[in-house]
Amino acid sequence: MSNSTTTTRTSARGARGTTAGPAGGEKSRRIDSLGRSIRLGISRIGYELRVYSRQGDSVFFTFLFPIVMLSIFAVAFSNAGNIGAAPDGTGGISFAAYYLPGMVAAGMLLSGVQNLGVDIAGEKGDGTLKRLGGSPLPVISYFIGKIGMVLVSAVVQAALLLLVARILFNVDVPTDPAKWLTFAWVFLLGVITSCVLGIALSALPRSGKSATAVVIPIVLLLQFISGVYLQFTMLPEWLQNVASIFPLKWMAQGMRSVFLPEGFATVEQGGTWNLPWVAIIMGVWFVVGLLLTRMTFRWIRKDT
Amino acid sequence: MTNSDNVVSVTDLRKSYGGVTGLDGVTFDIRRGETFALLGPNGAGKSTTIEILEGYRDRTSGDASVLGVDPQRGGIDWKARIGIVLQSTGESGNVTVLEQLTHFAGYYENPRDVGEVIDAVGLADKAKTRIGKLSGGQRRRVDVALGIIGRPELLFLDEPTTGFDPEARRQFWTLIDGLKSEGTTILLTTHYLDEAAHLADRAAVINAGRIVDIGTIDEIGGADARVPLVRWRRQGIRHERRTAEPAALVAQLHAESHGEPDGLEVIRPSLEDIYLNLVGASRADALDAEAVLA
């Protein structure tokens, strides 16, 4: 981010240097450079998607992981009866239906935090960032490329996940447009928040090789305490409170509000889906991620 | 900047890493259109100098100006005017040569033609090969191609031909000659002294963070270092003498020995000989200094 501020400073200096420049010169130059940043950012999205789709291992582990996990849960508990069924065994929903929202949320987290955290730490280690830092690519274009790549892959991933759930495991998906509207904003805000957190987290590993060792335990732990694999209300209250600090719990809760029947809201903390807090907590983490990114992201570690 | 013809201007550049001195007062200028070589052993400060000028490292003290801008504050506009070939090859194994160059060309206002650049670095038949599948020398050529794709005014080449076979090195020289004739200013570091002799107009020899000598390729090391050496054997004993008039000495030897002198050699010191002398001498000085301090 430090680079983009430098640019503005340089162009401002340049505009002042031209004697008979038009009054709006500086402003139009800034718009030019914003346009250029966006154009290059879009070109980065295509480039990143190409590189991403050619990496066999990360495609498997982050892209297909939620789908694999949903399948395992659905098959493992296929004889266990429904969740939330009446004492006579009627009603309720299947395990596949119950796990679907958690897996959608896990996919959002993995696509952003795990994918970008490992990816960018690796690019730092292998010299990619050093090369980009010496080129006239604005930092913001680089980020647009990364976030765009994650958004595209997360959308495809969620679509596949829903398709597998619907076709293989016969899970009912909502028909109410209002539910899909909730899905859209929770998904978008969740993925973008995960992205900025992933970018911020990429500053932590000291080398590209240690990146997975640093990032994976964090996301794994979050998944266990946030109601992705274990039913959230089964956790002790103090652990629920800890998990409520982090965004994944709220992503999962938002997704449950979309995919689970209304009656399930009563077992949530406070007895409601609490969508306003879903938005607030994710929004706060988005801002925190942005600030951390701004403070920590460098093309290269200077003086090492 | 005092002289607008200077593309690079460095004055008393110093860099220390936690108390260890990497650069100890380096001063030089590079004029527009010039090819300037930085020579020196590993760890002498070549890469530190070049990375400060590329904007990758901050200096501890001294002044530096690159294309009229302090490289510590070089923004996007400035980066668009320079080309960088780093010492180590990075990454991007998953895209093809053509894809990589096409993508990077998009960063620049007036890039070179991608096809022409691929031809110029001799990778025409590898254009559609993924970079990860190329050999080390071929990847290096991709680095060079990426360095020049933006039509830079100033090109940094940090040991560009490491891993090249002799033929590839010659091709590279031809490529650089072409850039020079277009007016590109070049800062080169290399361990190949023949490369420096072929490409550079001027060179600086740097050792232990200081410039030991600087000048045109013909001048460096001083006139004395270039005095030819005549070697011969007489009655099994080896003789050698430095002389500015080797032909006269050979004639005299011929007369004295009434025929061909044994093992006669006339050696004109190459840049490599001069360089080794310079580096060796400054190392001896440093050892002396340490001895005095101790």
Report DSSP letters for B171-199, one per residue.
HHHHHHHHHHHTT-EEEEE-S-HHHHHHH
Distance CA B221, CA B277 (A): 8
Distance CA B87, CA B131 (A): 17
Question: pLDDT tens digit string along A274-293?
Answer: 999 999 999 999 999 999 99
Across A56-60, A210-214, A281-285, B84-88, which has the greatest mean pLDDT? Answer: A281-285
Between the alpha carbon of residue B201 and those of residues B33, B86, B198, B216, the distances in Å are 10, 21, 9, 6
Q: State the pLDDT at residue B241.
A: 87
The CATH number fitting domain B6-216, selected from 3.40.190.10, 3.40.50.2300, 3.30.70.1450, 3.40.50.300? 3.40.50.300
Q: Are strands B229-234 and B237-242 parallel, antiparallel or unpaired?
A: antiparallel
Q: Does the pLDDT value for residue A150 go beyond 90?
A: yes
pLDDT band at A81 (very low <50, low <70, confident <90, very high): confident
Distance CA B54, CA B60 (A): 15
User: Following DSSP, what letter does each residue of A268-292 receive, concatenated?
Assistant: SGGGS--HHHHHHHHHHHHHHHHHH
The shortest C-alpha distance from B17 to chain A (Å) reads: 7
Q: Does the pLDDT value for residue B294 go beyond 60?
A: no
Nearest CA in chain A to B93: A51
In chain A, the number of structural domains is 1
**How far, rounded to the nearest angstrom, does the alpha carbon of residue A119 sit from its chain's CA centroid?**
13
Between the alpha carbon of residue B2 and those of residues A9, A19, A191, B29, B70, the distances in Å are 23, 21, 52, 11, 14
Nearest CA in chain B to A55: B94
Question: pLDDT tens digit string along A181-190?
Answer: 999 999 999 9
Residue B291's CB: how many other CB atoms inside 10 A?
8
All residues of chain A having their beta carbon less than 8 Å from the beta carbon of residue B17 are 303
Does residue A16 fall inside a structural domain? no
Q: Does the pLDDT value for residue A11 go beyond 70?
A: no
Q: Which of A100-104, B27-31, B180-184, B240-244 has the lowest mean pLDDT?
A: B240-244
Contact between B86 and A127 using a beta-carbon 8 Å cutoff: yes
Contact between B56 and A302 using a beta-carbon 8 Å cutoff: yes
SS3 A98: helix
Mean pLDDT of the B188-216 span:
91
Nearest CA in chain B to A302: B57
Q: State the pLDDT at residue A19.
A: 40
The shortest C-alpha distance from A5 to chain B (Å) reads: 9
Between the alpha carbon of residue B183 and those of residues A68, A80, B195, the distances in Å are 58, 77, 19
Q: Which residue has the higher pLDDT, A29 or B174?
A: B174
Q: Which residues of A154-176 are buried (b: 16+ CB within 10 A; e: fewer)?
A: beebbeebbebbeeebebeeeee
Q: State the pLDDT at residue A43.
A: 95
Q: State the pLDDT at residue B273.
A: 82
Contact between B146 and A137 using a beta-carbon 8 Å cutoff: no
Nearest CA in chain B to A51: B94
Mean pLDDT of the B159-182 span:
89
End-to-end CA distance of chain A: 20
Q: State the pLDDT at residue B288.
A: 59
Q: State the pLDDT at residue B61.
A: 93
pLDDT band at A225 (very low <50, low <70, confident <90, very high): very high
Mean pLDDT of chain B: 88
Q: Does the pLDDT value for residue A80 go beyond 80?
A: no
All residues of chain B having their beta carbon less than 8 Å from the beta carbon of residue A133 are 56
Question: pLDDT tens digit string along B247-280?
Answer: 888 888 888 877 788 888 888 888 888 888 888 7
Contact between B91 and A14 using a beta-carbon 8 Å cutoff: no
**What is the number of alpha carbons within 13 Å of residue B73 lying toward its C-beta?**
11
Contact between B58 and A47 using a beta-carbon 8 Å cutoff: no
Does residue A303 fall inside a structural domain? no
The shortest C-alpha distance from A3 to chain B (Å) reads: 7
Cβ-Cβ pairs closer than 8 A, A with B, add up to 86
All residues of chain B having their beta carbon less than 8 Å from the beta carbon of residue A138 are 76
Instruction: Measure CB to CB from residue A7 to each of B54, B75, B104 and give the nearest one.
Output: B75
| Residue B86 per-residue DSSP state | -
The shortest C-alpha distance from A162 to chain B (Å) reads: 30
Q: By residue range, what is the domain housing residue A107?
A: 29-78+91-296
SS3 B42: coil
Across B38-47, B144-153, B233-242, which has the greatest mean pLDDT? Answer: B144-153
Helix, strand, coil % over all residues of chain A, rounded to 5: 75, 0, 25
pLDDT band at A33 (very low <50, low <70, confident <90, very high): confident
Distance CA B261, CA B253 (A): 7
Give the helix ranges, DSSP H, for A110-138. 115-125, 128-133
Q: State the pLDDT at residue A126.
A: 86
Mean pLDDT of the A46-63 span:
83
CA gyration radius for chain A?
22
Distance CA B26, CA B11 (A): 6
Distance CA B150, CA A198 (A): 31
Distance CA B131, CA B55 (A): 26
- ipTM for the assembly: 0.83
SS3 A193: helix
Instruction: Measure CB to CB from residue B86 to each of A123, A131, A303 and give the nearest one.
Output: A131
Contact between A127 and B88 using a beta-carbon 8 Å cutoff: yes
All residues of chain A having their beta carbon less than 8 Å from the beta carbon of residue B68 are none
Question: pLDDT tens digit string along B61-118?
Answer: 999 999 999 999 988 999 999 999 998 876 667 899 999 999 999 999 999 999 999 9
Facing residues of B240 across strands? B231
CB A53 within 8 A of CB B119: no
Q: State the pLDDT at residue A58.
A: 67
Distance CA B169, CA B116 (A): 19
- The structural domains of chain B, with segments of one domain joined by +, span 6-216, 222-293
All residues of chain B having their beta carbon less than 8 Å from the beta carbon of residue A34 are none
All residues of chain A having their beta carbon less than 8 Å from the beta carbon of residue B158 are none
Q: Does the pLDDT value for residue B42 go beyond 90?
A: no
Instruction: Measure CB to CB from residue A51 to each of B56, B73, B94 and give the nearest one.
Output: B94
All residues of chain A having their beta carbon less than 8 Å from the beta carbon of residue B91 are 123, 126-128, 131
Contact between B90 and A14 using a beta-carbon 8 Å cutoff: no
Q: State the pLDDT at residue B114.
A: 96
Does residue A1 fall inside a structural domain? no
Q: State the pLDDT at residue A21.
A: 44
Q: State the pLDDT at residue A25.
A: 65
HEC secondary structure over B46-80? HHHHHHHHCCCCCCCEEEEEECCECHHHCCHHHHC
A88 exposure class (CB count in 10 Å sphere: 0-12, 13-18, 19+): exposed
